[in-house]
Amino acid sequence: MTPKQVVEFAIENGVKMVDFKFMDFVGIWQHFSVPMSEFGEDTFEEGQGFDGSSIRGWQPIHASDMIIVPDPKTAKIDPFIKVPTLSLICNIFDPITKEGYTRDPRNIAIKAEAYLKSTGIGDTAFFGPEAEFFIFDDVRYSSSANQSFYAVDSVEGAWNTGREEFPNLGYKPRHKEGYFPVSPTDSQNDLRNEMVAELQNVGIRVECQHHEVATGGQAEIDMRFNSLVDMADDLQWFKYVVKNVANRNGKTATFMPKPLYGDNGSGMHCHQSIWKDGVNLFAGDKYGGLSQQALWYIGGIIKHAKALCAFTNPTTNSYKRLVPGFEAPVNMAYSARNRSAALRIPMFSSNPKSKRVEYRTPDPSCNGYLAFAAMLMAGLDGIENKIDPGQPLDKDIYGLSPEELKDIPSAPGTLEEALKCLGDDYEFLLKGDVFTPDVIEKWIEYKTEAEVNPVRMRPVPLEYELYYEI
């Protein structure tokens, strides 16, 4: 829609408030609202001022003024606000230079798309993330100087088979046996259907929904792939819808990668391909029906995988999922059909339009704008430098011996290690001014000071069990 069409759309739908949504540096949607009387076509030119120093990782207090400018193409009616509300996703600009703010994640994603076009390699990068999540009935946590705990609960939890529920009806998925059971074992089908309906209401195409492997309410709803920026927008709407539908049903949803010990974590497998003039450049006559460009793209992902994890797996909790020796996508090998490889080539269809690479390492705690942009930049570096991904690995990687695994690159073991790898390998991200040095520096600084160090310095309950009597 054009700005004029957005205003007309708002009037036609009886809008009373306009909600401006934008992505903070870390990866959480922020917003503020104005009355419809304060909104018009000029808003798309002049924007709205706000305090950038109050947003994590952004401006210092002595240079705090920023401008938010809505993107008219993102206009939707928010389904969760009582007063009829128009929702717009926004970009952030510097009020002095009038340029896009370097630390605005959406601006970085926009520049990544522009860089792809500037290379002449392709004109569109498609991404299709599979963001898994958990639906719980209760969550409690606290951490202070003298105590620390967390507790989550679900009526589906395997740990509740003996709970007095008056009556306890059983039908609780066992650990690692939650994949595809029908009701009543799958107790959340109606809830996921409600999520699907709301996703469709905001214009997101959904392909399927199902219970995931873990007990305790793990779920997956698959969205149709989209171009990079649009898919990152869709991912934010996806999280917003899932959380709010769960909330209005008296439940809570989390995209935390590893909320339960001893069961599967939540990943976000990312399907990706590059197109030009309506043709899928990843389709060809090489291994798995891929093109040479697709293989080079894989080579770029493998080469930069450790640095990529700082954006694709950006939490300390991410590495509770990425543990070698278990069914985690830590081994940077590629293979057709093989779900034990970090880079998989889906073989469901022989249609050239379906050819793509599925990168299985990322998780849904990531900031989609940054993660998609970083993956694209790594893949493009592979194409530009013709990086050989090596030979495919068609064996079950989980069953390989240490000797067989020693030459296969692996993901970092901690967020601290991933950030160090990013500090050593980020030149590929700076091409086309997509990422800038201040973004890399601030990301490493923020993650280290706000997440790595606080987690590293705190005792955890298990340490009391292990060491208190020493």
pLDDT tens per residue across span 208-252:
999 999 999 999 999 999 999 999 999 999 999 999 999 999 999
Whether 339 sits among the annotated catalytic residues: the reply is yes
Whether 417 sits among the annotated catalytic residues: the reply is no
Quick one: residue 77, left, alpha or beta (phi over 0 = left, psi -120 to 50 = alpha)? beta
Query: Quick one: pLDDT at residue 469?
Result: 95
> With contact defined as beta carbons under 8 Å apart, do 356 and 247 qualify?
no
Quick one: residue 262, left, alpha or beta (phi over 0 = left, psi -120 to 50 = alpha)? left
Whether 360 sits among the annotated catalytic residues: the reply is yes
User: Among the options 104, 186, 263, 358, which is catalytic?
Assistant: 358
User: Among the options 24, 104, 113, 212, which is catalytic?
Assistant: 212
Whether 132 sits among the annotated catalytic residues: the reply is yes
Query: Quick one: pLDDT at residue 98?
Result: 84
Whether 321 sits among the annotated catalytic residues: the reply is no
Whether 163 sits among the annotated catalytic residues: the reply is no
Coil, helix or strand at residue 180: coil
Whether 458 sits among the annotated catalytic residues: the reply is no
In sequence order, the 6+-apart residues with CB closer than 8 A to the CB of 396 are 338, 340
User: Among the options 194, 210, 339, 394, which is catalytic?
Assistant: 339
Asked whether the predicted pLDDT for residue 428 surpasses 90, the reply is yes
Query: Quick one: pLDDT at residue 7?
Result: 97
Coil, helix or strand at residue 90: strand
User: Among the options 234, 360, 363, 381, which is catalytic?
Assistant: 360
Per-residue pLDDT band for 295 (boundaries 50, 70, 90) equals: very high
Mean pLDDT value across residues 400-406: 78
Mean pLDDT of the chain: 94
Asked whether the predicted pLDDT for residue 357 surpasses 90, the reply is yes
Angstrom CA distances, 31 to 70, 89, 90, 348, 380, stand at 12, 9, 10, 40, 33
Query: Quick one: pLDDT at residue 397?
Result: 76
- Of 233, 252, 257, 250, which is closest to residue 242 (Cα–Cα)? 252
Whether 220 sits among the annotated catalytic residues: the reply is yes
- Of 73, 78, 68, 70, which is closest to residue 15 (Cα–Cα)? 78
What the block records as the tokens of 70 is 């809505």
> With contact defined as beta carbons under 8 Å apart, do 248 and 242 qualify?
no
Query: Quick one: pLDDT at residue 237?
Result: 98
User: Among the options 8, 51, 427, 445, which is catalytic?
Assistant: 51
Distance between CA 285 and CA 260 in Å, rounded? Answer: 43
Pairing type for strands 65-70 and 48-51 reads antiparallel
> With contact defined as beta carbons under 8 Å apart, do 418 and 313 qualify?
yes
Helical (H) or strand (E) element with 117: helix 105-119
Distance between CA 175 and CA 277 in Å, rounded? Answer: 47
The larger pLDDT score, comparing residue 366 to residue 346, is at 366
Question: Residue 461: is it exposed, middle or buried by C-beta count within 10 angstroms (0-12/13-18/19+)?
Answer: exposed
Asked whether the predicted pLDDT for residue 400 surpasses 80, the reply is no
User: Among the options 19, 24, 130, 363, which is catalytic?
Assistant: 130
Per-residue pLDDT band for 399 (boundaries 50, 70, 90) equals: confident
Report DSSP state, residue 32.
Answer: E
Query: Quick one: pLDDT at residue 160?
Result: 96
Whether 212 sits among the annotated catalytic residues: the reply is yes
For 148-227, where are the alpha helices, taking DSSP H only?
189-201
User: Among the options 192, 269, 321, 356, which is catalytic?
Assistant: 269
Distance between CA 345 and CA 342 in Å, rounded? Answer: 10
Mean pLDDT value across residues 10-28: 96
The percentage of the chain sitting over the pLDDT mark of 70, rounded to a whole number, equals 100
Segment among 58-72, 192-206, 307-321 with least mean pLDDT? 58-72
User: Among the options 19, 78, 113, 132, which is catalytic?
Assistant: 132
Query: Quick one: pLDDT at residue 62?
Result: 73
> With contact defined as beta carbons under 8 Å apart, do 380 and 115 qualify?
yes
Segment among 95-109, 263-277, 335-349, 455-469 with least mean pLDDT? 335-349
User: Among the options 24, 156, 198, 220, which is catalytic?
Assistant: 220
pTM > 0.85:
yes
Distance between CA 33 and CA 20 in Å, rounded? Answer: 6
Distance between CA 317 and CA 134 in Å, rounded? Answer: 14
The percentage of the chain sitting over the pLDDT mark of 90, rounded to a whole number, equals 86
Mean pLDDT value across residues 172-196: 95
Per-residue pLDDT band for 276 (boundaries 50, 70, 90) equals: very high
In sequence order, the 6+-apart residues with CB closer than 8 A to the CB of 424 are 307
Asked whether the predicted pLDDT for residue 326 surpasses 80, the reply is no
Per-residue pLDDT band for 124 (boundaries 50, 70, 90) equals: very high
The DSSP string of 321-382 is: H--TTSS---B--EEES-TTSSEEE--S---GGG--EEE----TTS-HHHHHHHHHHHHHHH
Per-residue pLDDT band for 57 (boundaries 50, 70, 90) equals: confident
Pairing type for strands 357-359 and 334-336 reads unpaired
